[in-house]
Structures are given as structure tokens and as C-alpha cells.
Amino acid sequence: MSKHVTHWIAGKPFAGTAARRGDIHNPATGRVSGTVDFAGTAEVAAAVEAARAAFPGWRDTSLSKRTSILFRFRELVHAHSGELARLISAEHGKVVSDAAGEVARGLEVAEFACGIPHLLKGGFSENVSTGVDAYSILQPLGVVAGITPFNFPAMVPMWMFPVAIACGNTFVLKPSEKDPSAAVRIAELWSEAGLPDGVFNVVHGDKEAVDALLEAPDVKAVSFVGSTPIARYIYENAARNGKRVQALGGAKNHMLVLPDADLDLAADAAVSAGFGSAGERCMAISAVVAAESVADELIDRIKDRVAGLRVGPGDDDRSDMGPLVTRAHRDKVASYLESGVHEGATLAIDGRVHPVLGDDAAEGFWLGPSLLDHVTPEMSCYRDEIFGPVLSVLRVSGYDAALELVNANPYGNGTAVFTRDGAAARRFQNEVEVGMVGINVPIPVPMAYYSFGGWKQSLFGDSHAHGTEGVHFYTRTKAVTSRWPDTGGAAVDRRAAAAG
Ligand code: NAD
């Protein structure tokens, strides 16, 4: 049965009048499973207006009431995480256990936001001058917008809205049009948790909806996660319109394998971080930078593991890895295997011939785990963010050459070093120009109470997502200097009290 996904505005579904719609696919079968309405300026204006109207009441809602709604929301998402995971898997393609993992990681941000009373405490200085006190208060911005990518349809929005809403803002989410259903289900759960209508809204669509959000005067801040060219576009245009903006972009994550590394640990890490979620993770390992002395052995161990990986539909319990999100994306990712070989790399593992589970898989968007060896920095498979299950191995003489490679790359999202040498690892964490660093940990996604964000072309703006940087992004500080002159007529007569 074909589904139809529409917007969520002011606490209920909102069909709108826009003529444009997009198809939703099941990537495992290649078939269209539904359609999604695309918002035009009228639908975006309705969502922003709902959020604007809800803001005064929500900003004045007590911290304890806000927190109790957040706790209920957390419980509801937790209770429905299996259902959410299946929704995500059916539209994105990732295996259900992986989708459940993304819901769990998103929930950690909601849990962090449950502590908002503590996080919103300002400072207080008594008697900065005689009889004068000074203090600071953190206030919400108003309507804020989130624009999110296809690869984590629950987790990435949850990097944003639990903190934004806990801080007293109202929110308009524009999720990816490729897998829009999770956002709407989350909106229903917010309502069930008791969130007032209009505090959380969802509009679907593409550039037209995004541009309308960037133009809307009532939108005070924009959080974006997606590819680098669009992140730059969002950053420049939101800033031009006077909005606060954080725009997280693409990545090319390097994993260094030094000569003394535990090669079994490194091979396990390369396989899970390179091929998990079909490599469609902004923290996926894409480039394995291996010391020449261990590269052959490492590749052999990766090959052994890849032979046992089961590629198949996300809802098949046997599958370790699902399909890619669209046919066009699968074709583009596969094209790097050809261009890599053409430019001089060796195709050590060809994912195009990896077996696929399931009887209904013929038209699915499949590409099995692949590995290009002898890759060099000028090859397009190294320069571009592939965003698929393709590992590129670059062979280097040692630590200094590896570090130079990572630091010369325009992206700076995540990186990892595999070594048994604590001093080498410590040097790496100090010298590498990347926002998130793993030491013998391949995907170093920060916990919710730290902040997520890269450096260089992986982030435009100066605030990372969630954690205390998230609270900072979604609030502005007011500094108050206060004097209450003692006029003598007060209820408490301090002069009389002093005289005894
Ligand atoms: P994308 O940039 O194509 O789309 C992201 C969002 O922008 C979507 O909501 C989309 O509808 C919208 N959009 C697309 N084209 C637009 C345009 N021309 N104008 C205005 N809006 C537009 O990204 P994607 O393909 O959905 O996601 C994959 C990308 O996201 C990868 O590059 C990945 O590295 C990146 N990503 C980064 C992080 C991070 O934390 N840095 C996290 C997840 C994904």
C-alpha cells in the first residue's frame, strides 16, 4: 500500500496546497513506496507562523513543566524506538538494528536536555558596587529551524530540537525528502507527550522550502547538517538575512594504522566504520592511511572479514549492511571504483559482485563493500566525499606522512589513530586538525553532553551541535545590573534592624 506523507503544523497534519510532491522509495526493492508533499512558501509561512504564535507561551512555560514534557517525550520515543527503526529502515535502507542505534543516540540528546534547568543557570555577582548586583540570564531566540540530511532521519534532527525546545524556542524542522516519515512520527510523539501545538512543526520539501526558511524574518536561527556545498550555501544566506547559523557539512574521515597497531582491532574497525550503514555516515571511515610495513597484512584481514558480511534488506535479520539510498547515489558511488582503477588504484575488493540476500532484491540500490588499494591524494576517489561502502587505502612511510595527509585534506570532521603507543596517540590528538578524534576508536561520535562538530569545510559557523555548545547556540545572554535603593519605606527596615 502506498503511503502519503504530509507536513505537521500547529499540532496536526497539514496538507497545504503546494502542487509538488516527491517519491519515497524502498531502497531494497527499488520500488516507490509512497509520496511526500513538498512545501512551497505558503506552507513554510504557515509553519513559521504556528511556531511564532506558540513562542510567547512556551518561553514563559516553567522549567519544571518543560522538563516534565521532555521526560515524557523521552519515554515515548524509547517505547516506540522499534517502530521508528522500521520506518527509517524502510525508507533509508539501513538495517533495523542500526536504525534502532540511531534512535538511541538521538535519545541521549533528549536525556541531556532533560537537565535543562541546570544548563540554563546564569551567573550572579553580589555587591559589584555598593548595593549593586550583576547577573546574567539565558533567554531563547524565538523560532528556530533545522534542515537535516537523509542519512540519520531521527538522530540528526534530535541533535537539534530537544535542546532548542528545552531552551524555550519553537522549532520548524525540514527533514530530508528521501526519508521523511520518522520526523512526522516524532512530531506525533511530541504531541502525545503534551508539547503545546506549534512548538514543534515539520515541513517537507527541497530547495524551495529551505529558501523560504532562510528568507523568513521570524526564523532567528538555522541549524543545518548535510553536504559541504549546501552547508556553505545555508551559512552564507542565513547569515546574510541576519540569522544565527551553524551548518555542519561533509567529511572525508581518515583512519591511521601505525606499524605497532593491533591489526585485528584495526581491521574490525575499518570494516564496521567503513561499511556500516553502507558507508552513508558522516563519521564513516573513508580513507585508511596505513604504514607500508603493515598495509598488506591489514588488507588481507579486511578481506577475510568482508567475505563474511551479509548484504541484504534492512528488515532481514541476517543482513549486516543494507542498500544505498537511491539508484543515482548507488551509481555515483560505484563510478568511483571505475575512476579509481582508471587513475591507477587497485580494486582489491569489488562490491559490485558481492552476493545480496533476498528474493525481491533485483532492482534494489545495492553495492557491496569495496576497497581500493594504492590510492594517492590526487585521485578523485580520495578527493571527493564518496559517502558509500568504499574504503580507499593510502600507503605511507610513517606517522609524519600520515599526519600531513590528514591535515592537508579540506575536510576535518572525524579521524582515528590505531596504535599501541600512547605517546604517538597523544601527539596525534594534539597535532591533527580535525574536530573529533578517536584513539583505537573508529567512529568517535561525542556523547550528548559533549558537542558534535568538525573543523575546516566540515563546519560553517562556530557552534557545534548539542552539549553545552547547543545550549549556547539556542540562547542569548542578557546581563543585568541591578540596584534597589533603600528608601526607608521598605517592608524590611534594614536601618532599624541594624540598630538592633
Ligand atoms: P544534502 O546536502 O543533499 O541535503 C541536506 C538537506 O539540504 C536536505 O534537507 C535537503 O533537502 C536540503 N537541500 C539539498 N539541496 C539543497 C539546495 N540546493 N538548496 C537548499 N537545500 C538543499 O545532504 P544529504 O545527501 O541529505 O546527506 C548526506 C551529506 O550530509 C553528506 O555530505 C554527509 O557527510 C553530510 N552529513 C554531515 C554530518 C555532519 O555532522 N557533519 C552528519 C550527517 C550527514
Q: Compute, in angstroms, the gap from residue 203 CA to the centroid of ligand 1.
A: 16
Averaged pLDDT of the chain: 96
Q: Per-residue pLDDT tens for 119-177?
A: 999 999 999 999 999 999 999 999 999 999 999 999 999 999 999 999 999 999 999 99
Q: Per-residue pLDDT tens for 445-454?
A: 999 999 999 9
Q: Per-residue pLDDT tens for 188-247?
A: 999 999 999 999 999 999 999 999 999 999 999 999 999 999 999 999 999 999 999 999
Residue 359: pLDDT band (50, 70, 90) is confident
Residue 293: pLDDT band (50, 70, 90) is very high
Q: At what angle do helices 63-79 and 181-193 cross, to 10 degrees?
A: 130
pTM: 0.97
Task: Establish whether 282 is a catalytic residue.
Answer: yes
b or e along 169-184 (b: 16 or more beta carbons within 10 Å of the residue's beta carbon)?
A: bbbbbbbbbbbbbbbb
What 8-state DSSP symbol labels residue 357? -
Q: What is the pLDDT of residue 38?
A: 98
- What whole-number distance in Å separates Cα of residue 310 and Cα of residue 166? 41
Q: Compute, in angstroms, the gap from residue 176 CA to the centroid of ligand 1.
A: 8
Name residues contacting ligand 1 (CB within 6 A): 147-152, 156, 174, 176-177, 206-207, 210, 225-227, 230, 233, 248-251, 282, 385, 387, 413, 454, 458
Q: What is the pLDDT of residue 416?
A: 98
Can you tell me which residue has the cell 520526523? 183
Mutate which of 282, 384, 409, 443 for ligand 1 pocket (most atoms within 8 A of beta carbon): 282
Active-site residue, selected from the candidate residues 114, 167, 282, 381: 282
Q: Per-residue pLDDT tens for 265-291?
A: 999 999 999 999 999 999 999 999 999
Residue 362: pLDDT band (50, 70, 90) is confident
Residue 297 burial by Cβ neighbours in a 10 Å radius (0-12, 13-18, 19+): middle
Q: Compute, in angstroms, the gap from residue 229 CA to the centroid of ligand 1.
A: 9
% residues pLDDT > 90 (the chain) = 95
% residues pLDDT > 70 (the chain) = 97
Judge whether 157 and 183 are in contact, CB under 8 Å.
yes
Query: From the alpha carbon of 248, which atom of ligand 1 is closest?
Result: 41
Query: From the alpha carbon of 250, which atom of ligand 1 is closest?
Result: 34
**What integer is the mean pLDDT of 13-42?**
95
- What whole-number distance in Å separates Cα of residue 109 and Cα of residue 149? 18
Query: From the alpha carbon of 151, which atom of ligand 1 is closest?
Result: 27
